[in-house]
Structure 1
Amino acid sequence: MQLDLNLLAALDALLEEGSVAGAAARLHVTAPAMSRSLGRIRRTTGDQILVRTGRTMTPTPYAIAVREQVHALLHQVRGVLAPSRELDLATLERTFTLRWHDSLVALSGPALLAAVRGQAPGVRLRFVPESSVDTPELRRGEVDLEANASRASAPDVRAERVTESRPVIVAAQGHPLTRVEAVTAEQYAAAEHINISRRGRLSNVVDDALAQLGLTRRVVATAPTEAAAFEFARESDLLATAPEATTRSAVADLGLVVLPLPLELPSAPVYLSWHQRYDTDPAHTWLRTLARTALTTCQ
């Protein structure tokens, strides 16, 4: 049987108004059209629904029994087809999974969590580490929001560039380059380096820039995170090259030195990415706004 949801609205109006004319006026249709709808409802249910008693119409026992159910069903249908976009943060209970670059978690995660807890105490955040390979969790709905330096290429994934940070050199106190007035590209290339790569890559855009100057550098190790690379730099004469925003803890907690990079490199971008299914989700939109603020103000 093919069901017509318009009949549900007509049945609700008929049971509420108790007359064809009243139901017609309520739904802004003509009385003959509502009379035809009543005929279809009678054929579908096998019940008269409304029967004439003198000058009025009286609902049948079946109609009385299903009146509340019909009203509730119509309310549910309207909620699905025309959902409310109002968001009550005080009562919102939801868990969001965020796959952010580790440095962004350290820099902006605390500010984001504080904002979320202040506005929606029922919301929980799950920060999960980045994978060493591209994974489809964002498209599958297993990850709600990503933040990293990569722009998503999938057509159904949104990517917004929210901020950027220029690359700098991180070195241990006492490193020879900390004693020169201005580090040159030749001096930088002559030092030994630790590369930061979650995939273990021994080269990156730095090497491309050096190659254009006819220079090469020696990368003796890789580390998967900035934090790990900074520990290596503190305990050796290796140089780490990282976005300036991620070096705050290196300077404050590890006593490292930050130096200008003598190469023309673009600033490292930070992209916020999500699947298009969440474009009009009020709770997700709210979270994106908070995340955008945290990422831009903590850089």
Structure 2
Amino acid sequence: MQLDLNLLAALDALLEEGSVAGAAERLHVTAPAMSRSLGRIRRTTGDQILVRTGRTMTPTPYAIAVREQVHELLQQVQGVLAPNRELDLTTLERTFTLRWHDSLVALSGPALLAAVREQAPGVRLRFIAESSIDTPELRRGEVDLEANANRPTAPDIRADRVAETQHVIVVRQGHPLTRGKAVTAARYAAAEHITVSRRGRLTNTLDDALARLGLTRRVVATAPTEGTAFEFVRGSDLLVTVPESTTRPTAAVLGLALLPLPFELPSAAVYLSWHQRYDTDPAHAWLRDLARTALAPRPELTPG
């Protein structure tokens, strides 16, 4: 049997108003149209629903028994189909999975979690590590939000550029580059480097920029995260080149020195990405707004 949800609305109105005319006025239809709906409801349920007693109509025992259930069902249907559903953060219970670059988790994760817990204590965040290969979790709905330097190219993935920063050189205190003459592109290239790459890549845009200057550098190792690279840098004359905004807080704690890059390099961008299925999801939109705020550059970290 094929059900017409319009009959549910008509039945709710009939039971609430107790008359065909009142139900018709409530739903902004004509009285004959409502009479036809009542006839269809009677045929579907096998019950008279409303019976005439003098000048009024009285609900049948069956109608009285199902009145509250009909009203609740109609509210549930309207809640599912409503284009703009109200979001009650105080009762929201949901777990979001976020795959962010490790430095972004360290820098912005605590602020995001604090904001989430203040507004929606029933929400949990799962920060997971980036993979060494491209994975389709965003498309499969296994990851809710990504944040890293990669701008997605797939048409069904949305992306906002939420921050950008310049690159800096990170070395230990007392490193040869911190002494004597100013750091030049040649001195920079002559030093030994460690790169940050979850895929273990030995080259990146830095090498392209140096090549335009007729220079090459020697990369002796790669590390999967910035935090790991810093541990190599702390105890050696290696240097690592990383985005400044995500680096400065950790470098200060570890007692590392930051030096300006002696040649031009495009700024490092941060993209917040999600699948288009979540465009109109109120809870996801709320989390995206909080994430944008958490990932935005902080005044104290902005160069200048």
**Fold-level similarity (TM above 0.5):** yes
Match of 1:73 in 2: 73
Q: In 1, Cα distance between the equivalents of 2:41 and 2:253? A: 75
Task: Report how far residue 222 of structure 1 moved.
Answer: 0.3
Q: Which secondary structure state, in structure 2, belongs to the residue aligned with residue 99 of structure 1?
A: strand
Task: Report how far residue 250 of structure 1 moved.
Answer: 4.5
Please give the per-residue CA displacement for 1:78-123, whole angstroms capped at 9, x wherever unaligned.
Answer: 1111166333333332222111100011111122222222222222
Q: In 1, Cα distance between the equivalents of 2:165 and 2:107? A: 13
**Structure 1 alignment gaps of length 5 or more:** none
Q: In 2, Cα distance between the equivalents of 1:118 and 1:62? A: 47
Contact 2:103 2:247 in 1 (8 A): no
Match of 1:245 in 2: 245
Contact 1:226 1:246 in 2 (8 A): no
Please give the per-residue CA displacement for 1:140-189, whole angstroms capped at 9, x wherever unaligned.
Answer: 22211111111122222210001111111111222221113321111111
TM-score (norm 1): 0.94
Match of 2:263 in 1: 263
Match of 2:195 in 1: 195
**Structure 2 alignment gaps of length 5 or more:** none
Q: How many residues align?
A: 299
Please give the per-residue CA displacement for 1:234-289, whole angstroms capped at 9, x wherever unaligned.
Answer: 11111111111232245322222111112211110001111222222222222222
Match of 1:34 in 2: 34
Match of 2:114 in 1: 114
1:161 correspondence with 2:161: yes
Q: Which secondary structure state, in structure 1, belongs to the residue aligned with residue 22 of structure 2?
A: helix
TM-score (norm 2): 0.92
The residue type equivalent to 2:60 in the other structure is: T
Please give the per-residue CA displacement for 1:46-73, whole angstroms capped at 9, x wherever unaligned.
Answer: 2222222222222223222222222121
Q: How does 1:57-136 map to 2 (within 5 A)?
A: 57-82=57-82, 85-136=85-136
Q: How does 1:210-225 map to 2 (within 5 A)?
A: 210-225=210-225
Same amino acid, percent of matched pairs: 83
Q: How does 1:38-57 map to 2 (within 5 A)?
A: 38-57=38-57
RMSD: 1.7
1:25 correspondence with 2:22: no
Task: Report how far residue 36 of structure 1 moved.
Answer: 1.2
The residue type equivalent to 1:278 in the other structure is: Y
Task: Report how far residue 220 of structure 1 moved.
Answer: 0.7
Q: Which secondary structure state, in structure 1, belongs to the residue aligned with residue 296 of structure 2?
A: helix
